[in-house]
Amino acid sequence: MKTEFKKVHTYKDLIISSLILLAGVGLFFISKGGGIAVMLCGAVLFMVYKSGYKREGDNTLLKKSELELCGHDKAALLSFLEGKSNEVELHYGHEGGTLLLTVWHNDLLPIAWAQLMEYHEQTFQPITEIIKLNDNQTQKIIAKL
């Protein structure tokens, strides 16, 4: 079964959109045109500004972090993600190629998923599927983000 994530609103997204919408309402009494423009901006922001993620079938709110890492660390990262190694060192840069480590995680709960990709032919090609990390791996990877 393929793991997929959908973008969702976070509390911060809703607060920002609401504040802009309310600022538009307040401005409407001073300048109708300006107030309407700001209210429209708040309404559009409410519809499109989503910075959180949720996994299909789960209600846990997650954040997405992406790290560009050196290609020399490919074997060590694969070993860590597969659970063969307990330690991981992240070296930022582009020596030996570029790897993209995408991690969806929750800061309060020990929950995380990760996917490793390699830059090849002008795009990032997946090396692994999206992998659920265990508690130990989750704590180590979040500490390095």
Please write the tens of the pLDDT for every residue from 75-133.
Answer: 889 999 888 888 888 888 888 888 999 999 998 888 999 999 998 888 898 999 999 99
Question: Model's pTM, two decimal places?
Answer: 0.84
pLDDT value at residue 120: 83
Identity of the amino acid at 20? I
**If pLDDT is split at 50, 70 and 90, which confidence band does 1 have?**
low
pLDDT value at residue 73: 86
Q: 140: how many CB neighbours lie within 10 A of its CB?
A: 15
> Burial, 135: exposed, middle or buried (Cβ in 10 Å; 0-12, 13-18, 19+)?
exposed
Query: Which residue carries 């996994």 as its tokens?
Result: 55
Please write the tens of the pLDDT for every residue from 39-73.
Answer: 999 999 999 999 999 998 888 999 999 999 998 88
pLDDT value at residue 14: 94
Retrieve residue 116's tokens.
């490793």
pLDDT value at residue 96: 83
Output the CA torsion sign for 33, 39, 42, 46. negative
What is the average pLDDT across 136-140? 86
pLDDT value at residue 24: 95
pLDDT value at residue 97: 86
Please write the tens of the pLDDT for every residue from 15-43.
Answer: 999 999 999 999 999 999 999 999 999 99
